[in-house]
Structure 1
Amino acid sequence: MRGCRCLEIDCWDGDEDEPVVYHGHTLTSKLLFRTVISVIGHYAFQASPYPLILSLENHCSPRQQEVMAKHLTSILGERLLTTTVPESGSRFLPSPETLIGKILVKHKKVGPTQSSAPSTPSQVGECVEQAKNTKKIKFYLKIRRKIAEPKITQVQKTELAMALSDLVIYTQSKKFISFQHSREHQKFYENNSLSEQEAKKLSRHSAQEFIQHTRNFITRIYPKGSRTDSSNFLPQEFWNVGCQMVALNFQTPGVAMDLQDGRFLDNGRCGYVLKPEYLRTEGGRFHPHAQRHRTRPMFFTIKVISGFLLPHRSFSKTNTTSLIVTVEIYGTPADEGRKQTYEVKNNAFNPQWAQSLTFSVQVPELALLRFCLEDRSPLGSSELLGQYTLPLTSLGKGYRHVPLLNKHGQSLAPACLYVHVWYP
């Protein structure tokens, strides 16, 4: 999974009291839950030793939830985190360094504010949720004009097996209720409250960002996450406001996955990246949509010199190419942009551009740099031949070879770009 540190598992009741995993209400194949956990246990720490989070999307009955808990404990053994870390305080969560080699379960939990009672033959608790007159979070993605508090239409009670609930230690799932609820219950948001006018302005620009802004300031690091539906959104918008877990479908190639790989390219691809200080400080007031920021801007020039053994367009059997290199910046809205070289025709072996592209970035800590090699057809269409994405703060000075990856993130070696980087 390319170093993924948070994996969602869609669990359903199966035959003979064995839970199964599949994408619900689709024609995808069903796998036994115990088989999935066995595979995860085998490969969990091959890409990174840092903690892995299993986000359980649970549609199972209490009886099969107990089976899930049994498989988790028996298969994962000591790798499964079942108790809190003694050294960690009550205010902050333990660091990834403290949890090296551990697997965490992310799920709902029966707690003091939720009713719980034993039943026969197993112990089951009720998790009470407030249901809204919307279709989950998707409703809010359409809000562009105003922020309205959702009206509560009914109360839903979900039975949870205590055996599974007890495995949830630090990563408890919380359902979004309302902006007011988030404002009252999330300490980081209380210390950085927005005025009503600011909130409405932010909602008009992006309802997605405001929702995430009010509910996701929990930890101080970004863990690398994945999702399993068929679409992807750009994770950069959510990283800009400090969201610590942005779900993506690893099966869908594109810019979103390129950014995902680039963001976690740093520190040995361990799957966790420390947020900038202004997103870790509770008293900070960083706003990604501001025109100016209290950060030190970065001015740099990339001279695209040449390429070596570059790939061809998929349907081309000859060397008839029209190659363009595009350099893109993803970050805060004020920093985003792209510049490109001129075309070099009929030379994929060693094309020469020798063209300088200059950029100015106000918030370099959040910015990602993406190199794209495209082949432009005479009809004006373009095909992506290769790309490489990296954090801007990882960009070194001097002459550099930029390796190229295909749209699936696989190496195209020995294909590469030869560039020169300069900044003060």
Structure 2
Amino acid sequence: MAKEFQFNWRPNVPSLLQHGSVFDRYDDESTSLEVNAHVRVDEYGFFLYWLIESRDAVVLDLGQVWEARPSGLPKDGRVLFELEQRGARETLEERTIWITHGQDLVNVQSFYLVAETVEIAKAWRIGINEILRKSKTRHVCPTTNLLRYWKWLTLSVNDRRKIPIKLLIKTFSSGKPEKMVLKCLSDLGLCGDKEREELDVEMLTFEKFLRLYNKICPRSEVQELFVKLSGQKEYLTRDRLTNFLNEEQRDPRLNEILFPFFDNTRTQVLISKYEQDNNYIDNGKMSGDAFLRFLMSDENSPVFLDRIDMYQDMDQPLCHYYINSSHNTYLTGRQYGGKSSSEIYRQVLLSGCRCIELDCWDGTGENKGEPIITHGKAMCTDVFFKDVLYQIRDTAFERSDFPVILSFENHCSKSNQLKMAKYCMDIFGDMLLAKPLDDFPLEAGVALPSPNRLRRKILIKNKRLKPEIEKHQLDQFLREGKLDEEDEIIETPEVVGEDSVSPLDDGDTSDDDDPSVQSSSNVSTATPGHSSRPSLDSPPVQAAPSLLAPLDRALSHKLMIRSPRFTLRAISMKGRQPLAGDQRAHPEVEPASVATCPVIKPPIPGETIQCKETDEAHPELKQNFISKNLKSLGFTKKQPILTKEEEERIFAEYHYTGATTNIHPLLSSLINYTHPVKFSGFDVAESNNLHFHMSSFSESTGLGYLKQCAPEFVNYNKRQLSRIYPKGARVDSSNFLPQIFWNAGCQMVALNFQTPDVYMQLNMGKFEYNCGSGYLLKPDFMRRPDRTFDPFSESPVDGVIAAHCSVRVISGQFLTDRKIGTYVEVEMYGLPTDTIRKEHRTKVIPANGLNPVYSEAPFVFRKVVLPELAVLRFAVYDENGKQLGQRILPLDGLQAGYRHISLRSDTNQTMVLAPTLFVHIVIKTYVPDELSGLVDALADPRAYLSEQKKRQEALAHMGVDDSDIVEVPAGKSATTKGKVLQKTNGSAANLLS
């Protein structure tokens, strides 16, 4: 049984919302206004509903509401005119509540409520959003789900404020004839015949609804279990119930101190809570009805209830967590020719995602001069970069306080990158982590900060200049308000990022080979002076265009830090003196001398050339080089002349770079703990030991590294972040199996959130726990540097006890409102050796979507090597293969015994009348075959000896003398080391198929 844990699922519903307020209402399609709608929220926080005179009630499940937010003016002129006639226009926007809702992330609907006062509108917005933050309502028990459906029935009244009988008939019609439903209603005094088409709300109490449910849908399978446990009696004694709780409902692996066994005292408390017969309570007995109430209660949850709250240590380095991540977040459909949306960023963040992607390009046509977000040249629509930032700002920390990572795939010119940087700084303000934390400098060997240290911070992932180049260019920009004109003229070829323009491309990383960009193979370890970034303390800018104004010169000089480290860059030949290194730049040098210097040649973009000449060979070249570039470093003739030692040091540290990379230094300066570099190998990354460096891999490239060097990949992820994204061939926005990369410790496994396929359901189910924070702590051995782990190993992990799990699907309830056949699949995802798919399914129960009974033999997962990474997936399908509901449950949080599992939609949302499965789960320590007899003997020595004696007597009866029997090791087989796993269990191909 679970630890002593109070599960309070009920949100606080303010009295204002319960009593209701009068609003005017319209939606995006409205051409007229609905006036004087009385809007309320029920006392449980299940539904938002409104009543308008002479109309049926409208009831909206708050489980499908994304948010309540401020709104602008209505698009329709007639609606706006009506609103202006009913109240002051100057407060109209503040009085309007914009409510978005929908059953998935893409198909979002909206409506608007206009309050009488600004204060009422604000109170309603806050109240609704507080209810939406109460995530525990997603994990309520079957009894509470019945309470929710009963509440929906009582709110769904017609224009005469009565409950239509047809709603009750439809509730049960998927498994029972209409005549039977009407007879049960009549037996309970709720209606006499079909002609009576409506019911007074007061007549349908929750107690009567439960009686109706039990009458129409008797739980014969639970009654059968009860008879077996009670020994054919009408009640369970306290002793028998205690034995049931300890033997059937308890995982034997649990710690007895944290999870104590039931004794008669605790059992009596349970009886008093669920039994309604006082005589039974006084005599320590539990009836069949009370037993069913217990099985359907929160106290009998299928998962440990504390897993729903924040239960993990959030003070580990960022790379020690799985991070809920999205790929091409802006797309609402296909990768090629799809629609981009800024609105979907809100839904993705509100669903718990913590890493989102922004593909940034230069706007064209009427959008020219503005950075936009789109899928390159894949014929997708565009959205403005700044519009997306506003959406992120408003929703980043509505569901979780832990950091949000913005993964930029940047194809913009420097002028638009400057806009991007300023937009980020102005729109995000203090939420933006613009420089490293003082106690976590960007230095070799320094671990990443924890999610707790980065609470409510936004981190940018974007290519970054080398520290010395960034500092020099940033100093120049802060001083002059612009960069050298060559930076606008000469640009590197367009960088191929994570996603190619071609839908069939399988790009590797978003980093190119420009030597001005830090990479894992060419690292200049940051010094403390380079670890901190200059910050811009300029006042907030009111309008976006004003962000482009030059920085205040006094502020620029104040923030400028001169550095002796610098790099010369190629420049345009138009109207400018060429750079030292081109023979036309040095008329004072003899051509013969120039010819002998290997560095004297036209600049080659993207190439770094070491200057090898000596003082004796070219003293004039060296002096010319130094003097010509002092000005670019901020030195003037009025300043002291450099000493000979300083000149020597500058010259010794000089590199020639043929072309600057296309990264603006201001944007570069905002990058800290998510600094992407081109991956150059696990050995190089380990040698550099720069924890703030990270790399991105397509799924295909990631699989290649997993195949070749899986343990090294795991070790890399102990120290640094990695991001995995779908291959370019997934033009339909399908997803890959994220479990493959979770097994290697990859933190940011980015999926297409707009596609609710099986793999996205796995992602949503996994991140539902730990308070839906978007961060899950990896297993201990995947974090510790002194442990080695191979995700393809079939042997038990050192220090981890393998588990045995079996699942028996007994029955289903309210699986569909159609009279159709159904079946159930049970799968396990984990290590390749633990993964079993498409093997365990029940038979089809025809023409019953209401309460089918399967009573299948147990589905056995014989040996689970790593329970901490494994999840069980339950899915219900109709006879045509259409999914009706699903649920993902972590194996290490699963409770053993007879449990009800509430199912979710394919987008992992709850349903008004949640379908449930009644199952029997057995979880215990895995025991090899040759040791099973010994374990049985240790577990129950008397039973074991009794069984041995019976066998001995049987042999004696057949004339076998004791002296003829040779003692052999106890167990089913003394010569084998356990059976081979099932045909697909233990196969890496099974996981990858």
Interval of TM-score (by shorter of Structure 1 and Structure 2): 0.7 to 0.9
Matches of 2:362 and 2:508 in 1, distance apart?
Answer: 30
Deviation, structure 1 residue 23: 1.6
> 2:323: which partner in 1?
none
- Verify: 1:61 aligned to 2:413, yes or no: yes
> 2:85: which partner in 1?
none
Deviation, structure 1 residue 219: 4.4
CA contact (8 A) 1:398 1:421 kept: yes
Q: Any stretches of 5+ residues in structure 2 without a counterpart? A: 1-347, 510-605, 608-658, 692-702, 925-993
> 1:9: which partner in 2?
358
Deviation, structure 1 residue 282: 1.2
Q: In the TM superposition, what whole-angstrom CA distance separates every residue of 1:124-163 from its partner, at most 9, and x where no partner exists?
A: 899999x99xx9893789xxxxxxxxxxxx8696321111
Q: Which has the higher helix share?
A: 2
Matches of 2:464 and 2:669 in 1, distance apart?
Answer: 7
Of 488, 503, 506, the match for 1:138: 506
- Verify: 1:402 aligned to 2:917, yes or no: no
> 1:376: which partner in 2?
879
Deviation, structure 1 residue 225: 9.2
Matches of 1:345 and 1:276 in 2, distance apart?
Answer: 43
Deviation, structure 1 residue 267: 0.7
Matches of 1:70 and 1:27 in 2, distance apart?
Answer: 28
> 1:416: which partner in 2?
916
Matches of 1:207 and 1:73 in 2, distance apart?
Answer: 42
CA contact (8 A) 1:203 1:210 kept: no
Q: Any stretches of 5+ residues in structure 1 without a counterpart? A: 142-153, 189-201, 313-317
- Verify: 1:177 aligned to 2:680, yes or no: yes
Q: In the TM superposition, what whole-angstrom CA distance separates every residue of 1:244-292 from its partner, at most 9, and x where no partner exists?
A: 1111111122121011112212211100011101110112111011120
The one-letter code sitting in structure 2 at the alignment partner of 1:280 is R
C-alpha distance 17-210 of structure 1, shift in aligned 2 (>3 A)? farther
> 1:151: which partner in 2?
none
The one-letter code sitting in structure 2 at the alignment partner of 1:342 is K
Q: In the TM superposition, what whole-angstrom CA distance separates every residue of 1:161-186 from its partner, at most 9, and x where no partner exists?
A: 11111111211011223566446445
Deviation, structure 1 residue 204: 9.4
Matches of 1:272 and 1:204 in 2, distance apart?
Answer: 25
> 2:796: which partner in 1?
293
Of 362, 376, 392, the match for 2:865: 362
Matches of 1:349 and 1:393 in 2, distance apart?
Answer: 31
Of 824, 847, 864, the match for 1:346: 847
Task: Look up the SS of the partner of 1:420 in the other structure.
Answer: strand
CA contact (8 A) 1:51 1:102 kept: yes
Deviation, structure 1 residue 224: 11
CA contact (8 A) 1:4 1:224 kept: no
Matches of 1:182 and 1:97 in 2, distance apart?
Answer: 26
C-alpha distance 302-57 of structure 1, shift in aligned 2 (>3 A)? same
Q: In the TM superposition, what whole-angstrom CA distance separates every residue of 1:188-212 from its partner, at most 9, and x where no partner exists?
A: 9xxxxxxxxxxxxx95983696895
The one-letter code sitting in structure 2 at the alignment partner of 1:95 is S
C-alpha distance 187-367 of structure 1, shift in aligned 2 (>3 A)? farther
- Verify: 1:308 aligned to 2:663, yes or no: no
Deviation, structure 1 residue 30: 1.1
CA contact (8 A) 1:223 1:272 kept: no
Task: Look up the SS of the partner of 2:661 in the other structure.
Answer: strand
Deviation, structure 1 residue 421: 2.3
Task: Look up the SS of the partner of 1:160 in the other structure.
Answer: coil
C-alpha distance 206-104 of structure 1, shift in aligned 2 (>3 A)? same
Deviation, structure 1 residue 408: 2.3
CA contact (8 A) 1:176 1:215 kept: no
CA contact (8 A) 1:224 1:272 kept: no
> 1:104: which partner in 2?
459
CA contact (8 A) 1:308 1:350 kept: yes
- Verify: 1:232 aligned to 2:735, yes or no: yes
Equivalenced residues, count: 388
The one-letter code sitting in structure 2 at the alignment partner of 1:419 is V
Q: Which has the higher strand share?
A: 1
> 1:284: which partner in 2?
787
The one-letter code sitting in structure 1 at the alignment partner of 2:408 is L
- Verify: 1:325 aligned to 2:830, yes or no: no
CA contact (8 A) 1:209 1:238 kept: no
The one-letter code sitting in structure 2 at the alignment partner of 1:71 is Y
Q: In the TM superposition, what whole-angstrom CA distance separates every residue of 1:49-81 from its partner, at most 9, and x where no partner exists?
A: 111001111111111111011111111111111
C-alpha distance 205-64 of structure 1, shift in aligned 2 (>3 A)? closer
Deviation, structure 1 residue 226: 9.8
Deviation, structure 1 residue 342: 2.2
- Verify: 1:73 aligned to 2:425, yes or no: yes
CA contact (8 A) 2:352 2:773 kept: yes
C-alpha distance 114-282 of structure 1, shift in aligned 2 (>3 A)? farther
Matches of 1:113 and 1:218 in 2, distance apart?
Answer: 25
Task: Look up the SS of the partner of 2:394 in the other structure.
Answer: helix
